[in-house]
Structure 1
Amino acid sequence: MNPKYQPLMESFRFKNGVEVKNRVVLAPMTISSSQPDGTLSDDEIAYYKSRSNGVGMAVTGSIFVTPNGKVFDGELAADSDDTIPSLQHLATAIKKRRAKAILQIFHGGRECPPEVVPNGEIVSASAVAKEGLNVIPRALEEQEILEIIHAFGASTRRAIEAGYDGVEIHGANRFLIQQFFSPYTNRRDDRWGGNVDKRMAFPLAIVDEVKKVVAEHAKQPFLVGYRFSPEEEMTPGITMADTLKLVDALANKNLDYLHVSLMDFWSKPRRGVEDNRSRMEIIYELVGQRVPVIGVGSIHTPDEALRALQSGVPFIALGRELIIDPDWVEKITQGKESEIRTELTLNDKEKLGISDPLWQKIINTPGWFPIANQV
C-alpha cells in the first residue's frame, strides 16, 4: 500500500470501546430491493456483502420504524419483531466482512407516497404539502408523536437483538425528523413547534428514547449515531445557524457520532452564518472535540478522501463510489489505487449486482452518477 494513504486505514476506537478497522464508511443508500413484506431479498444481501468489503463501518439504507413511515417500494422494515430474523441475516452478512453493521432507522413523514402506506394517509409535523404535490399530510397528534418516538426505540431494540453494532437515527434528507426541525414544515404552536429550541424537541426526544433502550437492552457497547442535513433551500427553512444549535445540542447527548448529509463535502453555507469555510469545517470546529463527525459528499478518489480527512473529521463516507467500485478500499490496501473505477458504463448492471430499481434510478437521474458514453 502507498504509505500516504495510511491515515485512511488507521483504526478508530469510539469512547464506548467499539473499534473499527479504518476510517471509510459505507454511506446509507436506498437500493429499493427488499421483499414486498419488508424483509431481505437475495439482491439486497448480495449488495451489502460486496459493498461492505474493506470498509470500517457499513450503514444500511433507511429502515422504516412504523408502517406509515415507509417511503419506497422495496424498503427494509424494522417495525415489528417479525422483522428480526431478516435484520439478523443482513447484520451477519455485513459483519462477515469485518465491518461494523449500523442500522439506519427513520420515518418518512410527508415524503411517503400514499400508495405505499396504510390507508394512503400521510402524516407530518404540520399540514404542509410536499412541493409539486397536492397531497396534504395530516398533522400528527400528541399521542401519535409519542408512539413514533417509542417506535424508534423499539426498532433499536430489534437492531440489538439482530446483532447490529449500532443504529443511525436518520434526521436528514427531508424525512419526518427534519420535518419537525424545519420551520418550513413545522408550523405547530404546541411543545413540538415554534422557535428553534422547540423544533429540536422531537429530534432530541428520539435520541433520548434510543439511548434509553440501548442502556436497557445492549449487553455490549452499541453505537448511536445521528444523520442530519445542514440546510434547506426553501424559505423559511433550516439555516446553518439553526443547524449549529441542533448540532451543539446533539453533541451534548453523548452520541457516538454525527453524520452530515451533503452532496459536496466542501460546500459552503447558504445563509445563517458569515463564514467562508465549508459547512463540514464549521461543524467540526463546533463539535469535533466532543463527538466524532462523519463527512460525505462527492469524494471519488483516495486523494480526495485523504484531503477530506485532513480537515479533521475522523471518518469519510462513500456511497456512489462503492456502488461503482465495491473494491474501492481493497484496491488502496493492495497498492492498486490507480485501478479504482470512478464511472459506470451502461453494461455494469449485472456485473456490479445492481438491483433493477436502483439501476433505473441511476440511469434516469441525470448527473447523479457519472456514466461513460458507451453501450
Structure 2
Amino acid sequence: MTVLTDPLSIGGCEVPNRLYRAPLLECAGNGPDAVDTLIDELEPAAAAGTGLIFQGASIVTPEGGCAAPNMTRVHDPEFVADLSRLTDAVHDHGSRIFLQLAHGGLRSLDLWHAQHRRRSDAVGQKAVSKPPWHLRLADRLGFVDLQPEVLSTAEVYDLAAAFGRAAGYAVDAGYDGIHLSAANMSLIQQFLSPYYNRRDDEFADGVQFLLAIRDAIRDHAGDVPLVTKVPAETAAPPFVRRHLTRGDAVDIASRLAAAGFDALVPVEVSVYWDMSVVRGEYPARAWAASDLQADYAAAFGGRLRARAVRAANRVEEYWYPTEPGWNADLCRAVRAAVDVPVLCEGGLRERDHCEGLLGDDGSPACDMVGMGRPFYAEPRLPARLLDGGGRVLCESCNNCTVPQVAGEPGRCRTPDIVRERARLERDGAYDGEE
C-alpha cells in the first residue's frame, strides 16, 4: 500500500513524498521583482513539505507565446541564473522543483487579448498548420485576431532548440527537472492534436516534436529528469470531429516512455483553453468584482465582449461539472501501459481519495498526486494534508482564475475560504511546517 508520505524517484531525482504542486500561473513576469515574487509564491509550499513543485508555464522565446498576462520568460540566461535564489530556497526545505517550459502557439495573447495588441507590436501566432475553420470563422466575426505564422520544418527544429537552451539554463540555476506544457491548448498539444496538425513533413506525427525537444534538452541539459503532460482531447466540443482520444493518449504515453521520458501526466482536456482545465463552479464573485470590470473590458475588447465570455463561462459550468479526480481513469489506463511514474491531478481535494488513487485499494491509478488551485487557497496546505488532514479548503469555485486574464495574481478571492484559512492559521494548523 502506497501513502502520500512515501518517497518516489523520478529519473533519478529523489522526491520525499507523493504530493506535488501542479503548475499554476504565478503571474511573476520578468521585471526586477520577478524572482522575489516567485520565491514568495513557491517557498511556502516547500516549507510546508510539498514533495515536488512544478513552477508554472514559462515561455522559451523572447517574444510571443504567452497565453496570459505576466507569464515569465526563460530565454535569457542572466535572468534564469538569478532563479537560483528560488531553487536554493526550495531545496533548503528538502523539496524538489521542476521548471515547466511552454509556448502558447495559437493560444497566445496576440490572438485574444485586445489590450495587449494595443500596447505592443503584434508578432502573430506560431501555428502548426493552417488554423481550423472554427478559429478562422471566429476571426472573421471579430472575436479573435488570428495572425497565424505556420512554422517551417527548420523553424520547428529552431523552436525545439529554444526549449533545449532554456532547459540548460534551468539546470545551471539548480532546477531538479523539466516539465513540458503539452496540454491546455499549448503549442505542443497543437502538434499532437489532429484538430490542429495537418502538416506533411516529419512533424505530421506530433510526437516527433516532443522527441525533437527531448533531443535538444539532452544536448543542453544532459540527463535531467524530463516530465510531460499527455493530452486526451475528450472534453472537446461536439462540433470538433478530429481530436485525440483516450486510446491516442495511451499510445502517445507509451511512445514517450519508451523514448526516455521519466514521468507522464495524463490529462483530459479540450482542444481549446476553456473550463475543462479548471472544472468547477461558475466564478460569480470574480465576474461581479467591480474593481475588475474595466480590466475585463480591456482584455476582451469591450464590455459587450466581456459579457459574452462571461456567458460562455456560465455554460461551461454545466458542460464541465466538478468531478474530483477527473483524470484518474486516463491515468490508470496509461499506468497500465508504461513503466515510468504516472502523475495525477485535476480536482483532487481529499487525502483519502489521493491515497486511494495511489493504491490503497490495490488498484493504483498513479504514483503521485497533484493539486493546483488549492495552493491559492492554502499556500501551506501540505502541512495539514501530510499531517493527517482530511480535506483542503478549496471548493473549486474558480474565483481565483478569471481575474488572471486581467493580469491579477492567483489568489483565493472567496471570503469564507479566506476566513477559514485565517482561523486555521490562528489555531496552528500549519505549524507542522519547517
Q: Same fold (TM over 0.5)?
A: yes
Q: Which residue of 1 aligns with 2:71?
A: 75
1:35–1:78 CA distance, 2 compared to 1 (3 A): closer
Aligned-pair CA distance for 1:341:
2.5
Structure 1 CA distance for aligned equivalents of residues 230 and 78 of structure 2:
29
Mapped contact 2:70–2:407 kept (Cα < 8 A): no
Show the counterpart of 2:29: 34
**What is the alpha-carbon distance in structure 2 between the residues aligned to residue 77 and residue 230 of structure 1?**
27
- 1:265 Cα deviation from its structure 2 partner: 6.2
SS of the counterpart of 1:98? Answer: coil
Output one character per residue of 1:312-346: Cα deviation in whole Å (capped at 9) or x when no partner: 411001111222222322114444x1584234999
Deviations 1:123-165 (A, max 9, x none): 1101216465241412111221111010011011001110110
Match of 1:108 in 2: 104
Unaligned runs of 5+ in 1: 269-276, 349-354, 364-368
User: For residues 206 and 325 of structure 1, what CA distance do their matches in structure 2 show?
Assistant: 34
The root-mean-square deviation of aligned C-alpha atoms, in Å, is 3.2
Amino acid at match of 1:189: D
1:153 pairs with one of 138, 151, 164: 164
The one-letter amino acid paired with 1:324 is A
- What's 2:212 paired with? 205
Distance (Å, rounded) in 2 between the aligned partners of 1:19 and 1:28: 19
Number of the residue aligned with 1:162: 173
CA, structure 1 residues 318+305, in 2 after alignment: closer, same or farther (shift >3 Å)? same
Q: Distance in 1 between matches of 2:393 and 2:355?
A: 17
Cα distance between partner residues in 1 of 2:378 and 2:262 = 28
Residue 281 of structure 1 aligns to a residue whose secondary structure is helix
The answer to whether structure 1 residue 315 and structure 2 residue 364 are counterparts is: no
2:242 match: secondary structure: coil
**More displaced stretch, 290-299 vs 239-248:** 239-248
Residue 278 of structure 1, aligned match among 329, 354, 359: 329
- 345, 355, 373: which one pairs with 1:296? 345
Instruction: Check conservation: 1:180, 1:192, Cα contact below 8 A.
Output: yes
Query: What is the identity percentage for the equivalent residue pairs of Structure 1 and Structure 2?
Result: 23
Does 2:277 align with 1:226?
Answer: no
What SS does structure 2 have at the residue aligned with 1:278?
A: helix
The aligned amino acid for 2:253 is V
How many residues get paired?
338
Aligned to 1:330: 383
Which of 123, 126, 143 does residue 154 from structure 2 map onto? 143
3-state SS, counterpart of residue 181 of structure 2 = strand
- Residue 124 of structure 1 is matched in structure 2 by 127
Deviation at 1:260, TM superposition (A): 2.2
Structure 2: distance between partners of 1:231 and 1:175: 13
Question: Aligned partner of 2:228: which letter?
Answer: Y
Rounded to whole Å, the distance in 2 between the matches of 1:347 and 1:254 is 39
The whole-number CA distance in structure 2 between the counterparts of 1:333 and 1:192 is 43
Distance 2:144 2:211 in 1: 29
For 2:20 and 2:103, locate their aligned partners in 1 and report how far apart those are by CA, in whole Å.
23
- Equivalent in the alignment of 2:16: 21
Q: 1:346 to 1:189 in 2, by over 3 A?
A: closer
**Tell me, what secondary structure is at the counterpart of 2:90?**
helix
What are the Cα deviations for residues 151-205 of structure 1, in whole angstroms up to 9, with x where unaligned? 0110110011101101111111111111111111112122221xxxx23221222
Cα pair distance change 1:359/1:163, threshold 3 Å: closer
Give, as a single letter, the amino acid of the residue that structure 2 aligns with 1:242.
D
Q: Match of 1:127, as an amino acid? A: K
**Partner SS state of residue 205, structure 1:** helix
CA distance in 2 between counterparts of 1:205 and 1:347 reads: 38
1:110 Cα deviation from its structure 2 partner: 0.6
Q: Is the 8 A contact 1:192 1:199 kept in 2?
A: yes
CA distance in 2, matches of 1:256, 1:370: 40
> Residue 73 of structure 1: CA displacement?
2.0
Kindly indicate whether the alpha-carbon contact (under 8 Å) linking 2:266 and 2:343 is maintained by their aligned counterparts in 1: yes
Partner of 2:403: none
What TM-score does the superposition give when structure 2 sets the normalisation length? 0.70
- Say whether the 8 Å CA contact 1:125–1:140 is kept in structure 2: yes
Amino acid across the alignment from 1:85:
A
TM, length-normalised to structure 1? 0.80
Write the distance in 2 (CA, Å) between the matches of 1:109 and 1:325: 32
